[in-house]
Structure 1
Amino acid sequence: MRRTSARLTMAGIVAFATAASLTVAAAGPGSATESAAPRTLAVGSPTGFGASTTGGGNGTVHNVSNASQFTSAVQSSGSKQVRVNGTINLSSMVKVSANTTIIGVGSHARIEGSGLNISRVNNVIVQNLTFSNSNDDAINVEYATNVWIDHNTFTNPNDGAVDIKRASDRITVSWNRSYNVDKNMLLGHSDSNGSEDSGKLRVTYHHNWFDGTNQRNPRVRFGNPVHVYNNYFDSVGSYGVASTENAGVLVEGNYFENTDDPFHLGEGSSDKGSLVARNNHFVNSGSGQQGGSVNSIPYGYSLQSASSVKASVTAGAGVGKI
């Protein structure tokens, strides 16, 4: 099995451990420290449509521990890496600039109260953060390309956990855990937006833990192909994956448990899309609905046996697992 976003080389372990051992104690109120010797802080590398994402690369490192530091850092120009220490309390969505890596330190870094707006930018990584109680989405992605959302935990957003829309493209969503979420992951916001979205919205979802989420895991419009592979659907409420409005979704090698409706065509007033399902594993779950054809997946990947996905994902998805 290839777990490029979770398995580390020894050099990567040393680099991340070194970064995690830095302190922000020297920063005064409202200020952030910056590293004089930048290193690449993101752990691993993305697989799938977001594979070319490099985020802030080895740009300037900002160590932040409050909302003003965080906002200033993620909106600064140039390549930058933002290390989040503790809880960042936000009152509204914060826009993230291009060429940015945002990474939580340890297992307790948290964005609380609102979320991130990745809009009209390129090249963003968000890794190892808990997003809780957002008054909007936890992460909103629109008109953005080359985005990697990896090893985060999402709980209790007012709207979506990760919504991707408006001509966004080349994105990977991997090794995240969502729980206590209704509208989990929307891909394509409107049936009437085909002029912008057709030929875009190509997203890979792999090794995510949909832990009792209710719907939109994901709900897809127009994107073709969208690749949903090696995820664990655990007691999903309304439905797992929905393909609508000319979308083409490959649902492959997933583990569905206690999920009556694992995948289907159409949703609400949206017309049916296409969905191909293969090599999935079902435990106390429905068999799903599929039909039509899906464009071929244009990248190489290693597919894990579906029956082993539950153990891997529950052990490896979410904050503190990189």
Structure 2
Amino acid sequence: MTSHSDTSASRVPDRPPRSKRRTVVVLTSVLGLAAGALAAVATFPAQAATEDQGDHGAAAQLPPGVDALEGFGAATTGGEGGETVTATSQADLETYAAAEEPYVIVVDSALEISPKGTEIRVGSNKTIIGAGTGGEIVGGGFFLEGSSNVIIRNLTIRDTQMPEDDPDDKEFDFDGIQMDGATGVWIDHNRIERMNDGLIDSRKDTTDLTVSWNVIGDGNKSFGIGWTENVTARMTIHHNWIHDTSQRNPSTDNVEYAHLYNNYLENISSYGNLSRGATSMVLENSYFENVKDPYYVESDAAQLRESGSICVDCTGRQETNGEAFDPGEFYEYTLDAAEDVPALLGEYGGPQEWIGA
């Protein structure tokens, strides 16, 4: 087990200017590339590029990777082929999300969820997408139980906290997005904040998961992963801004392959990226600012290989263990320099006007 000294003395400028991104080029099967490309195209029915869309209107004008589905969830197509509908009420959302047939479900306004803490059940083959920045789930969240092929994108999910009654999130399990035994999920460009318990929980062998370009913050438990003795899950967590939280950022337990890259962790009071159980974790080019215990392993059975990350004003543990695995054997991905990550996420993290417009 290798410990690294705190690098807070070598501070880099806050919100550095964006530089050109570099892409990790990986040889993979033609079939795998085709599946990833199909998923990326098929899930954006409302985003046909035109010449008059402005700087962020067309995907071709964005930096590489911002509008792409990468990682272990790359075959996810969501509600592709199904009817596109707009949910204007909680009842609409519940009906479409739980239906047996595929749907692309557009949310273009703030939906107040009642009773507080209700988690909308999401069945298989669904895309739930916010139109521009107007789609909000207020006072509730989502629950994927055994679901497969689901996209949750471009939404604000917020405000189930009950601090007066449940200061440590022990009594009211009001998650932002909870997944139990789900397969093939993409959680992208959402803002998830002020939830009572987990902002995101990936539980009970949920696998083939990509979590990207989200802003996750103002809560106790950010991103819990595990609740299983099996070591079968595969997940990619990249370009997420996790801020002003305490624990589980993420806590990654018994994951066969966990690939974390280009995440920005800011103002974390308990611990950052934790490899637990028999997890094999690769951590690349992330930016840690004012984080206690930025990254470490809980036991010799857990692996964590780190490269290219920056720690600023951090304290505590920076530890690696073992060789883990090579993500490039599984997929192509776009890797930014760590110093560019805060600025990229400040501009492109969370809901975007050009998605689902």
**Band of TM-score, shorter chain:** 0.7 to 0.9
Task: Spell out the pairing of 1:13-162 with structure 2 (5 A cutoff).
Answer: 13-14=49-50, 44-90=67-113, 91=115, 92-134=118-160, 136-162=174-200
Distance 2:252 2:343 in 1: 27
> 1:119-173 CA distances to partner (integer Å, 9 max, x unpaired)?
1111000001111123611101111111000000011111101100111110000
Question: Given residue 109 of structure 2, which amino acid in structure 1 is its aligned partner?
Answer: G
Identity of aligned residues (%): 31
Structure 1: tracts of 5 or more residues without a match: 18-42
- The structure-2 alpha-carbon separation of the partners of 1:118 and 1:11, relative to structure 1 and needing over 3 Å to count, comes to closer
Task: Find the residue that maps to 1:313 and give its secondary structure.
Answer: helix
Any conservation in 1 of the 2:144–2:180 contact (CA below 8 Å)? yes
Distance 1:133 1:152 in 2: 14
1:271 is displaced (CA, Å) by: 7.7
Residue 299 in 1 paired to residue 331 in 2?
Answer: yes
Distance 1:45 1:59 in 2: 21
Which of 212, 229, 250 aligns to 2:261? It is: 229
1:85 is displaced (CA, Å) by: 2.1
> 1:222-262 CA distances to partner (integer Å, 9 max, x unpaired)?
11220110011112221111111111111111011121311
Any conservation in 2 of the 1:218–1:242 contact (CA below 8 Å)? yes
TM-score of the superposed pair, with normalisation by structure 2: 0.74
Which of 275, 284, 288 aligns to 1:252? It is: 284
1:78 is displaced (CA, Å) by: 1.5
Task: Find the residue that maps to 2:325 and give its secondary structure.
Answer: coil
Question: Given residue 322 of structure 2, which amino acid in structure 1 is its aligned partner?
Answer: G
Between stretches 101-110 and 170-179, larger displacement belongs to 101-110
Any conservation in 1 of the 2:300–2:321 contact (CA below 8 Å)? no
Aligned length: 284
Task: Spell out the pairing of 1:243-282 with structure 2 (5 A cutoff).
Answer: 243-266=275-298, 273-282=302-311
Task: Point out the structure with the larger strand share.
Answer: 2
> 1:13-72 CA distances to partner (integer Å, 9 max, x unpaired)?
459x8xxxxxxxxxxxxxxxxxxxxxxxxx944100100000001420111111011111
Following TM superposition, the consecutive aligned residue runs of length 4 or more in structure 1 with deviations greater than 6 angstroms are 2-5
Task: Find the residue that maps to 2:92 and give its secondary structure.
Answer: helix
Any conservation in 1 of the 2:232–2:255 contact (CA below 8 Å)? yes
Structure 2: tracts of 5 or more residues without a match: 1-20, 24-36, 54-65, 161-171
Which of 170, 176, 184 aligns to 2:222? It is: 184
Question: Given residue 288 of structure 2, which amino acid in structure 1 is its aligned partner?
Answer: F
Task: Spell out the pairing of 1:164-183 with structure 2 (5 A cutoff).
Answer: 164-183=202-221
TM-score of the superposed pair, with normalisation by structure 1: 0.82
Question: Given residue 324 of structure 2, which amino acid in structure 1 is its aligned partner?
Answer: V
Distance 1:295 1:169 in 2: 17
Question: Given residue 331 of structure 2, which amino acid in structure 1 is its aligned partner?
Answer: Y
Distance 2:49 2:318 in 1: 41
Q: Which residue of 1 aligns with 2:232?
A: 199
- The structure-2 alpha-carbon separation of the partners of 1:140 and 1:223, relative to structure 1 and needing over 3 Å to count, comes to same
Distance 1:113 1:2 in 2: 39
Task: Find the residue that maps to 1:212 and give its secondary structure.
Answer: strand
CA RMSD of aligned residues (A): 2.4
Question: Given residue 249 of structure 1, which amino acid in structure 2 is its aligned partner?
Answer: M
Any conservation in 2 of the 1:45–1:51 contact (CA below 8 Å)? no
Q: Which has the higher contact order (CA 8 A, sep 6+)?
A: 2
